[in-house]
Structure 1
Amino acid sequence: MTGQPVPGRDPRAGSKLKKGLKQWMAVLPFIFLGVAGTAVFVIYPMIRNIVISFQDYSIMPGANNPFVGFDNYVSAFTDPNNKVLMAIRNTFLNVAVTVPVNWLLAIVFAVLINLHFVKHKIVFRTVYYLPIITSWIVVAFLFRFLFAGGEYGLINYILYKQLGLFSEPINFLSNYWSAMVVIWLFHIWKTVGWGVVIYLAALQGISKEYYEAAAIDGANGTKQFWSITVPMLGPVTAFVLINLVNGAFNFFPQVYFITRGGPMDQTQTLPSLMYLQAFKNFNFGYASAVAVMMGIAVFALTYTQMKKFGNQRFL
């Protein structure tokens, strides 16, 4: 008879199926937009870049773009000026210097702001995050003024003119190491607020009972920091470090707006070298080869860090 449930069949199965289909139909347009956007703006450019890295590529309409095999990769490492090797050195040096400093400052500032006797936490959070939303160009011009050569740069004015610590003004941006220090300071000041905000949010999830128990056992503030705070923030630290490493690999505005790669291309990084070769020298195959090698390095390093932190147990 119609309307009677079929023996052995769960009448709720049909309703669950209909409900599931209805939910999928509701979210399918958003999934499609995400997949389409990823395909158009990520996957296709990535594949296209790999193809160009094996070509003597020209942007002129109708130009012949012959395949040259690995010639662009070989040229990158046989350049008599060693531009790629210098860029690789500077890129990994940026990671080695800025990531630990950025991480340590972020977690220390976050802990200090989160102390129970500190008032106006929102004000401090805003102050630390303000450089993040400030234009790279504005901050770059500020640092160029601070570290300008001659006696009229602010740092030179203070150290040379007022304090007399040097016999002559320092031309910070004309020396390799001083220029690199300026770039590192620029990057750290511009980005440290991001880590501070992330850690401030994470600190709210740590129970005060851990600190109370540690205080009863006689642990001071420093021991509590290294024995409780740092381990408890382990998963957040993994997220922060991976993003800091990726940010340190992408040193483009830091170099382009401060030193333009000088002096004598000694402060070039892989992103700035790619821009120089592609849009100044129109050597797109060479630039694409550098981009592919950088992408592989970033993927390998990020994957290694994710595996390392993924297999680690946190309190």
Structure 2
Amino acid sequence: MLLSALVGRLERAQALDPAVDAASGVMNRVLPRGRFKDLLHGTWLGHPVHPLAVALPIGLWSGALLLDLTGGDRASARRLVGAGVLAAVPTAASGWADWSELGVAKRPKRVGLVHAGANALTIFAFAGSWLARRDDDAAGRGLALAGAAGLTVGGYLGGHLAYSQAVGVNRNADEVAKPREWTDACAADDLVEGTPLRVEVSGQAVVLVRSGAALSAIGATCSHWGGPLDEGRLVDGCIECPWHASRFRLSDGSVAQGPATAAQRAYDVRTAGERLEV
């Protein structure tokens, strides 16, 4: 409970906001939206790449620490430390990419900034360990232990972000199954050409779009952070979330542009007399 209380205070620490705003500006300049940032988000993977990437440096550094504690080969330990430092660079970049797209959500951004700071200190400690091991193995082992402490803090905060604040979680993971039978959605005249329309179908929010003779229907809640897709704009056969600019293809709900990584559920839609059915 003490740890939860401390993290709760961190979430409410408005003193961090100037640093959060400054870091957000830097990250959005360094990592502008586009294919490279989508690569870091994991749009190609179907879920965020960062949780997968963190396993590599953690595993490498854990191996080095085990060798240190059991009197293992010093050269092997140093190689593991160095490999972990190299692996931590793209891992950190993926984390920064996700953090920079949290928009105005201050609480997770405050925790995320401290999480990133702890991990940065961890990387510096292990980098120092790699350098020190050339001449002073004892100093190298000491720096590795310091890095492990930083890794523990960063890992705890990362777990809080994922499991308590739901950063990176598909906001539609608990949606009910699609209706098995055609279900009335709205009057056909309610759907105006080029204007998204939100409807409720079997307890699920669905956004309908008319483009000429074509009708499209996908889930109306953005999988990234829960934004209302019906308030977004239509761009090149996609609908763009008004919150963080994720784009989803109207044809099948797949992700065309991050930061979202999970696709939207796509529905069949048809005209039945003067009504639209999903």
TM category (shorter chain) comes to under 0.3
> More strand by proportion, 1 or 2?
2
TM-score, length-normalised on structure 2? 0.25
TM-score, length-normalised on structure 1? 0.23
Higher normalized contact order (CA 8 Å, seq sep 6+, divided by chain length): 1
- Structure with the greater alpha carbon radius of gyration: 1
